[in-house]
A and B are shown apart, each in its own frame.
Chain A
Amino acid sequence: MHPKEVPSILSVSATPPGRGRSWFLALLCIYSGLLILGAWREEIRPSAFEGASRWAKRSLARFGIPTGIPVFQGSGAGPILQGTCVTVRARSEQGPSQQIAPTKGPCPPEGWLLMVPVENTFLKRLLVEITTRMRRVERATASSQTMTSTKRLLKALAHHFGRKAPEAKEFALQWSLHSRDYESGDAVVQDILFLSWSRGKLQEMTTHWFPSPEQRDAVWKEWER
């Protein structure tokens, strides 16, 4: 130890001599072993290997090698949908969340819901619903970083809907607690994402969700209003 590194309330950095050294070594070995065993017990589980196996089979399937696993061809509606104003992943007791939004066409995979702004009144209603639920976890879930994000989210939503959102001021959102705190009867809003604007992607998706040109025109007029 350096002579003037004082006060040294913990002088254990010097290697203990003699028998103490052997005991200390045993302690270090036990601690290291517990760390490693803890990680092993925590993470080595059958599903991890099943996942890797599924991934390998899917990779083979992409190259046309039959594996018995269907390969999902992306149609513009994946877990992340760029260019929409809001996507809400919702879970309903009745199954995929058809009830919340006036979507058309097949439901996206993995329970993700595409909110196409057909009716701004509907989205306003949704915004109010979201903010009301967020208010319930205000303070209890406050976090400086998520709070900033949430304020930004609501500000951006307010901008898109052309209205002020006074509720946006004091909101806090702890996304990791969503599933617990957002319980509300028939549906659970698990995650809210505000995605950056991408007109091209939105066009691609509206083509998918609204096959007829008249419908698409109506969507675009509504979106750009």
Chain B
Amino acid sequence: MIGRVHSALQSWFFAPQPLVAMACNRMLLGSALVIAYLIRLPELGTLFLSGSTAWFPPFRTVLSGRSDYPLRFAVSWLEPLSGETRSAVLVGLYCLLLFAAASFALGVRTRLSGTVALLLHLFFVTINPIAYWGWSALIFPFFLYTLLSPSGRVLSWDARRCATEPEDWQTSAWPIRLVQIHVCVMYFETGVARLDDERWLAGQMLYEALTNTLVTRLAIDWHPWREVLEVFCYGTFLLEPLAPLLLCIPRLRTPAAVALIALHIGLELLTRVGMWNFLMIGGLLTFLPANWLHRMVGRGPGERGRAPSLTAQGESP
């Protein structure tokens, strides 16, 4: 019995799986970081640099010894620097972060650029954790899984550099499995947390979000659409807690992933919630059939290289 479980787990975690979803995820996560930090560029001084008279309060909080910022030690070396020097260093690191994130998205020296981008992101989160919405923490595991996978092997500048080599479109499954488990856990947490939320129970949450100018992209009168929004609200209310189950059932996996991606695209078009939707869409790509993704990116293993089995990526071989 134990042997069978062991062998099933081995197969689930280590069998070859198509790499294309992780490559797409790499492009999405790198782009998300670039967009997030470009958006903050006009407010760089307020958010991350020292003010004229006082250093940024959260930074002081970090330095005063609060233990809930994992990298607080990593920013303490900035404190003795003078204001101008510190600003110059931070601007330099900010530019480096943008460059590294863009390089990761494009697959230029993928692992090096990804590692630099991730560490610098954590660095800026440590300086001012409230300059972000909650996505700044969620991106860490997804980024790490993608970084650990050989996502730069295809659809990347690294792959183009060695055009004479056969492309290997397969990888050991475990980074994909970790993404899949994390996506399911996220939906479980968010879905179950809503079960006792009055706004969700009353079908008002979507309407409430869209009429809140802190969140909505469209400042229009949503009142005439209230009943339609209620339907979508209840749809989301059911879909998200059920997602972990649906994504585990082979027959329902693809439609569930498509529905969830559509949900996130809709949310991204209508609301401003940071990079959450990018991250979740990236994770959901790992549940789609690989041949869909090959068609989407216009590249596949047929051109040069070994052919992967084009099964849905969540399926055990």
Contact = CB atoms under 8 A, between A and B. Distances in A.
B254 to A, nearest CB: 23
Contacts of A1: 150, 153
A7 B112 CA distance: 7
A213 to B, nearest CB: 24
Contacts of A54: 196, 201
Interface string A1-42: 111111111101111000001100100110110011011101
Contacts of A14: 172
A193 B212 contact: yes
Interface stretch (A99-107, A120-128, A135-143, A215-223): A135-143
Interface stretch (A90-98, A159-167, A171-179, A182-190): A171-179
Contacts of A40: 188
A52 B196 contact: yes
B227 interface: no
Given A32-B178, A140-B58, A55 B201 contact: yes
Contact of B213 (A2, A80, A193): A193
B150 A13 contact: yes
Nearest to A37: B185
A140 B47 CA distance: 9
A15 B13 CA distance: 9
A158 to B, nearest CB: 14
B133 A145 contact: yes
Interface in B103-120: 109-112, 115
Contact of A5 (B56, B128, B158, B223): B158
A152 B198 contact: no
Interface string B187-219: 011001101111101001001100111100001
A141 B130 contact: yes
Given A42-B189, A43-B189, A196-B219, A13 B39 contact: no
B220 interface: yes
Contacts of B39: 144-145
Contact of B162 (A3, A8, A58, A149): A3
A85 B10 CA distance: 60
B217 to A, nearest CB: 11
A139 B50 CA distance: 11
Contacts of A224: none
Contact of A36 (B57, B132, B167, B181): B181
Contacts of B174: 15, 28
A60 to B, nearest CB: 13
A144 B181 contact: no
B201 A196 contact: no
A195 to B, nearest CB: 5
B152 A48 contact: no
A144 to B, nearest CB: 4
B171 interface: yes
B140 interface: no
Contact of B161 (A4, A147, A174): A4
9 contacts: A2-B165, A5-B152, A5-B153, A10-B148, A13-B171, A39-B188, A80-B208, A176-B130, A195-B212
Interface of A: 1-10, 12-15, 21-22, 25, 28-29, 31-32, 35-36, 38-40, 42-44, 47-52, 54-55, 58, 78-80, 82-83, 110, 139-147, 149, 152-153, 156, 172-177, 193-198, 200-201
The 7 nearest A-B residue pairs measured at CB: A51-B196, A4-B162, A144-B43, A43-B192, A48-B195, A2-B153, A15-B172
